[in-house]
Amino acid sequence: MATEGRLHTEARPIDDLVDDVLSGAIRIPSFQRGLKWQRPDVIRLFDSIVRGYPVGNLLLWRRRAGAAAGMRIGALRIDAKETDAALFVVDGQQRLTSLANALSDEGHIDPRFALAYDVDRERFVPSQNKSVFEIPLPIIFDLTKLLRWFADNSILMSDPAYIDRANKVAKAIREFRVPVYVVEQSEEGVLRDIFDRMNNYGRKLTRAEVFSALHESGEGERSETTHDLTHIASEVHAETGYGVVDDSTVLLAFLGRRGANISRDIRREFDLAANSPGDRYTSEFPREDAGEARDATIRAMVLAVKFLQDEAGAPHFAFLPYRYLLVVLTRFFAHHPWPAVGTTRNLRRWFWRAAVLGPQVTKGNITYATRSLCDRIVPGEESRSVEGLLEMVAGPPASEVEVTDFRTNHAVTRIMVAALWDLRPMPLSGYEDVRGYSMDDLLEALGEQSTANEITPSIFTSSTFPVRLRSLAGNRVMVPDPAGTVESVRDSLWRVAVDRIGGESKWASSVLRSHAVTPDAAQALISGDEEGFVRMRQASLSAHLRTFLARQAEWSFEDTPSLDLLIVEDDPRDDNLEVN
């Protein structure tokens, strides 16, 4: 097996590695996770180095890199020049970032890296500039600066032991050698194989991370924690306020837009050879490059999100019962960006039927459900596509949806969250202007959160309140207040109920209705029957949920194609025909 030009190994001293980081010769690729290490991790690293313990191997791969001004590595900002032989970190990001920052003056802006060596206690400590015994690591690392530090502090010069300790630590750091494996980019397949093996045998990269590593759009260097999939999510959120979709879902939406088989080999995504007729990996956009595909995915996802916000009543990512539904919608709007009115109606029916039924329509396998639904979407055939989706969710559910365990990361709870929003909740204080919360209020309150937990607080939180009632939807209320001014939901509801019973506010009844609080429930709250209040409100919410789903899913309606799609334009030649 030929191996020339693929891999070589060397042991490199720390000062060489740091120099390469500071010069931009070593770079952190955009697919890498953000820095996770904290100060204790960095201290352990240097303690291991001084003790001569192994600190693990570095895995780098060599490739061309463009110029990058202000490239970020930890607290460092580096102006890197264009080069044909940059070394990108595959494994060892945390260690290299920590070494370069802790041994550089600039890196000490970040407290994680601001370390010193205490020559009196013989240990690494946070650098606080409170004692001459605590020598900052950038000074330890630079022999000239270290000599000047001792010359300026006579107390250190009084004991040769201090000098000896500092010299030993400085020498240990400078001369410590780290095993480095460098993969040469002689063949693109070598890089792909490395990432596959890292994914299977080393640090577990997600499929989205592997995809980003293999298919960056090549539009220059971005920040160390930003790659194309994250860029897609950020752009969609910026345009819609929908929240930041996770990379794994974005990847499936990216793949689903280009082809129904979302399980295909991501290594071949932009290989023209892999898009020959009959190839099961064939893309519906074979001539796209990665950048074009990214931009088109953003456009399709934005249209899908606007449908969810404007038509389906699921305005934020925190409302989405199953993430694969967004994948399917992205594919639909990629091929049918401006559907007819009737198609939009049927698409709303499909969304809520699929939300209620879940992946059980394909025996609980979400991957298979996603592929099957994507396969029903046919380019150029809008009516056939939506009819195919509806066929997958034909028939009403076997049982009614009931939320007895309100957990905002569960699909059934997210359906209830949408039903709560459908009530058009009003503020529990200052409600005299009878204004309900707006969509802008909701999106601002949720921001980039992935669940609606913050805007659906519990009414009764005491540990003495029965657990079986505490977890019911009836014990939650939706208050998407961007300012977060609602301090006690229970007290606020109580005051509104008192206002209603006492007739002091004509708007109190509207406020209570907007939170599914019936007159009987309001009376129970005032009289101190908290358990009765929650039970009655649970019943009221369950009834509203049934109404909401019946209206959205329209189980009993015939799923006919849009009349707009059945209109046949008159033949202009008929205008010349004579009528006898």
pLDDT one-digit tens code per residue, 464-492: 899 999 999 999 999 998 765 556 888 88
Q: What is the pLDDT of residues 219-238, one digit of tens each?
A: 444 433 334 788 899 899 99
Helix (H) or strand (E) holding 421: helix 411-422
Contact (Cβ atoms closer than 8 angstroms) between residue 119 and residue 156: yes
CA 65 from chain center: how many Å? 27
Residues 6+ apart with CB under 8 A from 467: none
pLDDT tens-digit series, residues 35-82: 678 888 899 999 999 999 888 888 888 877 888 887 888 888 888 888
Q: What average pLDDT does range 193-202 have in this prediction?
A: 55
Closest residue by Cα to residue 134 from 118, 153, 122: 118
Angle among Cα 107, 111, 117 to the nearest 5 degrees reads 80
**pLDDT per residue over 129-174, tens digit each?**
778 889 999 999 988 898 888 888 888 887 888 889 999 999 999 8
The reported pLDDT for the residue numbered 221 is 41
Length of the chain (residues): 580
Kindly write down the DSSP assignment for every residue of 438-493, as one continuous string.
Answer: PHHHHHHHHTT-SSSGGGS-BS---TTS-HHHHTSGGGB-----TT-----HHHHH
Residue 225: Cβ within 10 Å count: 14
More confident residue, 206 or 137: 137
3-state SS assignment for residue 306: helix
Neighbours of 535 (CB within 10 A): 16
Whether the pLDDT of residue 440 is over 80: the answer is yes
* Mean per-residue pLDDT, 14-29: 88
Distance between CA atoms of 99 and 45, rounded to whole angstroms? 9
**299: its two tokens:** 């456009």
Average the pLDDT over each of 146-150, 274-278, 497-501 and give the range with the smallest value: 274-278
Confidence of residue 287 (pLDDT cuts 50, 70, 90): confident
